[in-house]
Structure 1
């Protein structure tokens, strides 16, 4: 490849420091950042999604940050299309582009392409929605565990939209949802270098707990109060929001809701790592590794790709 185009992709569990590293890499390569964090897309959800600070946003050009409303329908397929179109434009000016985010499916959509799933039989989604209303989310969780234990370990079990999506494929096809995932990558005209940040589990959990406390200090409860009228939307089926909605609409004490946010975020981080550790292409680094060290190690392995002009 005479003029290789490179997508430096930073992955890792929530609260591990992906944004800070992305900015340092973007500054080093004089390039721009694509966010692959699906909840940071929404302008009404700033505090609970840990959107980069104004100082961080000013430190390097960012894309796909708070560019949508929670009322805007936007799928991972939409993101794949829009991100690829943006990359085509960015590569006219930059040899390297940085992408960072904790939404593994959105990262995979750009780097590998989306998997193809079978048509959903008529009435299946309606039946699942009615089952959710009458029997609760536990019934869907139990069915997924019985029919696709692999995906059960990875999915956000508190997100009814994700559960329904998996179960409608299972019921329509008779096959597990997992069997349609991880298909052959689609061709891309850029090379992907994946950088993973990690830490001991106790460190990750402590960082999560501290971040949740900071979110509460910054006014997350007030932010959620302003979004109550949108509580049924998929965007609000997000850790941090659904627990505080539960507090506001029931007799759940605030501290219990905050503790639930921490617990569910820790579970989310565990699922993120389960997803990511299956990818042999990720170069893993401790979260405290200096950016210069990461750049040097990656550059040594990919010298032809990462030489700056």
Structure 2
């Protein structure tokens, strides 16, 4: 049975390996829905196995928008995501659909709900400069440099989060203003009511799923996928696509920098660290329906309850 809803946007969130995709598909069977991916890894073409992308049959039956929209060498910013997601949400409402935004990329969800700062665009020269600094000094040392110019940003950003550390330094380099200064004047990107459902299994269960899933990826040809990517002369391990968990470790293994058991161990550890980071963000979310296991009946009631918008 298809049940209707008003112009509400649903955020279906959860850490990696929590079962969000399957739950979104279940919900889509109860609503006239439009599934919109909120995942900074699923945007890339030719990166299917290591990103746990829904398979072709699933995507044919239940299309997920904003999947496979970039080549791995292309840049895609949170600003790009906001523009694309807003267009998808409007299309959903034009077709009397419930937009279900499903994923685990906190920065994208935050950009939609709270807006984006007017930050300077990266240039190829600035990207090259900070990629080189990252290679020369390492993320932890650059984080120390960031703390000297923008203590607030340094407290928010983990020293190992090289992408956000270098971006904060780049913003200061390009604009002369700190990231914290520029992030002060934000407006929400969408003006519709948002409902949030968070799928949050127990930590031990997530850890088991992460390990089992990565071993399954290995069995299903993940290394062949990365070998194919390595043949692309435009790719290197400093690009956001190759920084995705699993890909960087496989890249290092194929370069002969680490052995296979180390690669597997490091990829699983990196994925668990991502899971922890996502869980910390999700635990701070307010007014969300939190589930340790998918409960479609409860979710449908929550979505339809007008008192919760």
TM-score range, shorter chain: 0.7 to 0.9
Structure-2 separation of matches of 1:125 and 1:86: 30
Structure-2 separation of matches of 1:56 and 1:152: 41
**Aligned alpha-carbon RMSD (Å):** 3.0
Structure-1 separation of matches of 2:281 and 2:43: 22
Counterparts of 1:173-192 in structure 2, within 5 Å, are 177=179, 181=183, 184-186=186-188, 188-192=190-194
Structure-1 separation of matches of 2:254 and 2:290: 40
For 2:111, the equivalent position in structure 1 comes to 109
Structure-2 separation of matches of 1:71 and 1:118: 21
> Structure 1 residue 182: deviation in Å?
7.7
> Structure 1 residue 211: deviation in Å?
1.2
Counterparts of 1:159-198 in structure 2, within 5 Å, are 160-169=162-171, 177=179, 181=183, 184-186=186-188, 188-198=190-200
Does 1:261 pair with 2:267?
Answer: yes
> Structure 1 residue 91: deviation in Å?
0.8
Q: 2:34 aligned to 32, 35, 42, which one?
A: 32
For 2:68, the equivalent position in structure 1 comes to 66
Partner-residue secondary structure (3-state), 1:67: coil
Structure-2 separation of matches of 1:119 and 1:289: 40
> Structure 1 residue 251: deviation in Å?
3.8
Partner-residue secondary structure (3-state), 1:166: helix
Counterparts of 1:1-309 in structure 2, within 5 Å, are 4-117=6-119, 128-144=130-146, 155=157, 158=160, 160-169=162-171, 177=179, 181=183, 184-186=186-188, 188-228=190-230, 229=232, 230-232=235-237, 233-286=239-292, 288-300=293-305, 302=306
Choose 99-108 or 82-91, whichever is displaced more: 82-91
> Structure 1 residue 7: deviation in Å?
1.0
Residue 44 to residue 182, structure 1, CA distance change in 2 (3 Å): farther
Structure-1 separation of matches of 2:156 and 2:51: 20
Structure 2 segments unaligned to the other structure (5+ residues): none
Residue 202 to residue 278, structure 1, CA distance change in 2 (3 Å): same
Structure-2 separation of matches of 1:172 and 1:197: 39
Partner-residue secondary structure (3-state), 1:73: coil
Structure 1 segments unaligned to the other structure (5+ residues): none
Partner-residue secondary structure (3-state), 2:94: coil
> Structure 1 residue 165: deviation in Å?
0.2
Task: Count matched residues.
Answer: 300
Structure-1 separation of matches of 2:149 and 2:75: 29
Superposition TM-score, scaled by structure 1 size: 0.84
> Structure 1 residue 294: deviation in Å?
2.0
* Aligned residues of 1:4 and 1:95 also touching (Cα < 8 A): no
Residue 224 to residue 119, structure 1, CA distance change in 2 (3 Å): closer
Structure-1 separation of matches of 2:224 and 2:182: 41
Structure-2 separation of matches of 1:82 and 1:238: 21
Partner-residue secondary structure (3-state), 1:268: helix
